[in-house]
Amino acid sequence: MPEAIVLTASRRLLRNLRDVMAAPGSAQQRLDKVVKLIASNLVAEVCSIYGLRAGEVLELFATEGLNPDAVHKTRLRVGEGLVGDIAAHARPLALSDAQAHPLFAYRPETGEEIYHSLMGVPILRSGKVIGVVVVQNRTRRHYTDEEVETLQTIAMVLAELVAGSGLVSSDELKQADGIGLLPLRLEGLCFNPGIAMGLAVMHQPRIAVNRLVAEDPAGELRRLREAVKGMHSALDDLLAADDLAHSGEHRDVLEAYRMIAEDRGWLRRIREAIRSGLTAEAAVQRVQEDMRARMGQVTDPYIRERLQDFEDVTNRVLQHLTGYQDTAARQELPEDVVLIARNMGPAELLDYDRRRLRALLLEEGAAHAHVAIVARALEIPVLGRLRGLLERVEANDLVIVDGDHAQVFVRPGEDVQQIFAQSFETRKQRQRAYARLRDLPAVTRDGVAVSLQLNAGLLMDVENLKESGADGIGLYRTEIPFMVRPHFPNLAEQTEFYRKALELAGDRTVVFRTLDVGGDKVLPYFPKSEDENPAMGWRAIRISLDRPAILRQQLRALLRAHGDRPLSVMFPMIAEVAEFDAARAIVDIELELARRQKRPVPRVLRVGAMLEVPALAWQMPALLSRVDFLSVGSNDLFQFLFASDRGNPRIAERYDVLSPAVLGFLRDVVSRCAAKQVPITVCGEMAGRPLEAMVLIGLGFRSLSMTSNSLGPVKEMVRSLDLADLRDYLAMLESSADHSLRGKLGTYARDHGVAI
């Protein structure tokens, strides 16, 4: 049959199917009419539709040609027989002698033994198999590729009827995909602890295609051309942007993305689907569904990455076709939101109403990604590396997030909900107890005072300062405001931001860390480093010294914001004293400039360094004669000390900060600072965990900086601690060769009534 005739018949069949589906009557009545229509138009003696039920079972829903008594009685497991094989692999099958195939499964109640040839395709919805449509003939018929394409197009239209018929409930559709009515439990990595419960909200909702059947295929092809042209134009504008115009890895990635957007095979398949009778958006979606289903089980990372690129390109085309280019942040949200995303930027997170935001779940992500840092500032649990998250969670699913144990329960049963409710109530009681400690001093039982301060990066963090009872801001991450802007903030913008932070802090000290970007913290408008090991590459103070104009502008803004108020500033990732001297010299240049311009200068200026690079610990005599204070950045320090990438889940927990090596290292550092009377603070995550904080205090640290939700637990620990006993115990442990001292230290705390 000529291709043009086949396409004309296909379009006529789709229009007839649309009319049947829109006609009055029950879902079963419409399905019965549909199978007759398909069989007639495809010149087949049999047409059967199987729907996927719970437990991965395919049930015969309707048939023309087989025994009607078999409807809703004949069942096949996914993978069983030819129909089951089509469902299992989400791929079409066309056989001239089906009964000779080794997978053929005979069901005597159907009366299909007289039919030899078979053609079947999966019915796909949201990339998931929800059924199979099959045609059969008595003769050994050879089905053409065009006929297979036609049946695939029919299956796409049928997906809406099968899914919306009520014959299979939405719960069963979920269970058919293996995600079930019972609690689905996912494990990932904890980026910020805590527990939460709410309804799943997809950050990028699936674009709904409401019009499937085309009235004017030529017009639909024109719409596709315009959409692809618009997408190409947008990508060209992106590539031509000033900050992306030069060569580099980012450019290579975008060029590769542009090539995918021009992939001829992909576009050819979409055009063929349009010619068969689908609208442009329905054709794009059909090709996307087919590719997603075929490649869903592929584990090769390169192929998975290419599949994701195709997904992104497809979504861009759909956005141009439908005009829908928004995220869920602009929609009406439930009271309790658990936000679901593959990845997202920090500015996107801040688009959401934080009063409703309960947790953030990422299929990918990293603990120190920008969005995770902002989420910690919002004090919401964050889990990442949740494999299969987007495929296995639907919008409005009930989700429980257990950040403390890095697990997620989707659609939990009553028992899990009760356990969560008890845990949540216990946590609320503890929070109330911590609130009662807010105005009490952080002093040990034997009278040693400890300063507890906040880590901050957003103005909302500073707003929590008074309510938290913290003594001040021990670490203000100035890079976060840079991350959530589409451009580099100018002098006036930076000055205003620092001024607001100081006003909110009142008379409490704020220690500003200069820009710490690079590595895994890339500004959207800043060239990405091509370092093979970004954590040890061109980042932090190295960028500031190589691009002194950036540092000078930031220091100038800090001086103007402070006026004559005391200023505390520190430099990140100092590896040698010479780097500190170079950075300090720039401070002096800006001070002199302010004086010449007759601007007020701080009456007290304190300049410090972050101890994050172990090499600096062997330059302490020279360093301590220059700095006004030191701050230990334990996150980077210990990944460098152990040569252990903290972003790698395979080794993230391999080394313990409560090991003899760490205790010995920290004791030496703090004793050297004490001898020279140089204040020292720990501002990494170690400071915010009660057991680790107990050890730090025992080693001699008297200043700790942490997130606001860690303040209560740490203060409770401090007030329950007798320091004299702890010092002696730590001295005894340092000569140990154990991998970790955590177990012994935990036992000590419990035996001595220390609240950890």
495 and 557 Cβ atoms separated by less than 8 Å: yes
H or E element in which residue 567 lies? strand 567-571
Q: Report the pLDDT value the prediction gives residue 256, as an integer from 0 to 100.
A: 52
This model's pTM is above 0.75 = no
In angstroms, what CA-CA distances link 42 with 1, 125, 145, 363, 624?
Answer: 12, 23, 13, 43, 86
545 and 570 Cβ atoms separated by less than 8 Å: no
Please state, in angstroms and rounded to a whole number, the distance separating the CA atoms of residues 713 and 756: 7
Structure tokens at 369: 């990604």
In angstroms, what CA-CA distances link 543 with 407, 483, 556, 573?
Answer: 38, 16, 17, 11
Structure tokens at 500: 């607001």
CA count, 13 A, side-chain hemisphere, 586: 24
Sign of CA dihedral 624, 628, 634, 639: negative
Residues 57-95 have pLDDT tens digits of 899 999 999 999 999 999 999 889 999 999 988 889 999
Which structural domains are found in the chain, ordered by start? 3-176 (3.30.450.40), 187-205+328-427 (3.50.30.10), 217-322 (1.10.274.10), 443-751 (3.20.20.60)
Please state, in angstroms and rounded to a whole number, the distance separating the CA atoms of residues 47 and 134: 6
Q: Which of 420, 464, 360, 447 has its CA nearest to residue 712? A: 464
DSSP 233-272: HHHHHHHHSGGGSS-SHHHHHHHHHHHHHT-HHHHHHHHH
Q: Which position among 116, 203, 370, 562 bears the catalytic label?
A: 370
8-state DSSP, 306: H
Residue 685 CB coordination number (10 Å): 20
**Locate tokens 């889940």: which residue?**
649
Structure tokens at 162: 């099968």
Please state, in angstroms and rounded to a whole number, the distance separating the CA atoms of residues 43 and 477: 70
Structure tokens at 395: 């919008």
Please state, in angstroms and rounded to a whole number, the distance separating the CA atoms of residues 248 and 570: 31
Residue 513 CB coordination number (10 Å): 24
The alpha helices in 398-486, defined as continuous H runs, are 414-436, 459-463, 465-468, 479-483
Residue 593 CB coordination number (10 Å): 14
Residue 216 CB coordination number (10 Å): 10
Cα 582 to chain centroid, rounded: 38
Please state, in angstroms and rounded to a whole number, the distance separating the CA atoms of residues 426 and 339: 24
Q: Torsions phi, psi of 254, nearest 5? A: -70, -35
90 and 293 Cβ atoms separated by less than 8 Å: yes
The alpha helices in 402-451, defined as continuous H runs, are 414-436
Stated length of the chain: 756
- 449, with CB counted inside 10 A (0-12, 13-18, 19+), is exposed
Q: Report the pLDDT value the prediction gives residue 127, as an integer from 0 to 100.
A: 66
Q: Report the pLDDT value the prediction gives residue 179, as an integer from 0 to 100.
A: 42
683 as an active site residue: the answer is yes
Q: 10-residue block means of pLDDT along the chain (756 residues)?
A: 53 80 82 92 93 87 93 91 90 91 88 91 82 94 88 84 67 50 75 90 73 80 85 67 45 53 72 83 80 58 53 73 72 90 75 88 75 78 88 87 88 82 82 86 94 87 82 90 74 91 91 83 61 75 91 95 94 96 96 94 95 95 96 91 76 84 94 96 92 96 91 94 90 86 93 92
515 and 455 Cβ atoms separated by less than 8 Å: no
In angstroms, what CA-CA distances link 397 with 299, 338, 474, 698?
Answer: 27, 9, 40, 46
* Interacting residues of 8 by C-beta distance below 8 A, sequence separation 6+: none
Q: Torsions phi, psi of 48, nearest 5? A: -130, 145
47 as an active site residue: the answer is no
Tell how many helices (H) and how many strands (E) occur in the chain.
28, 22
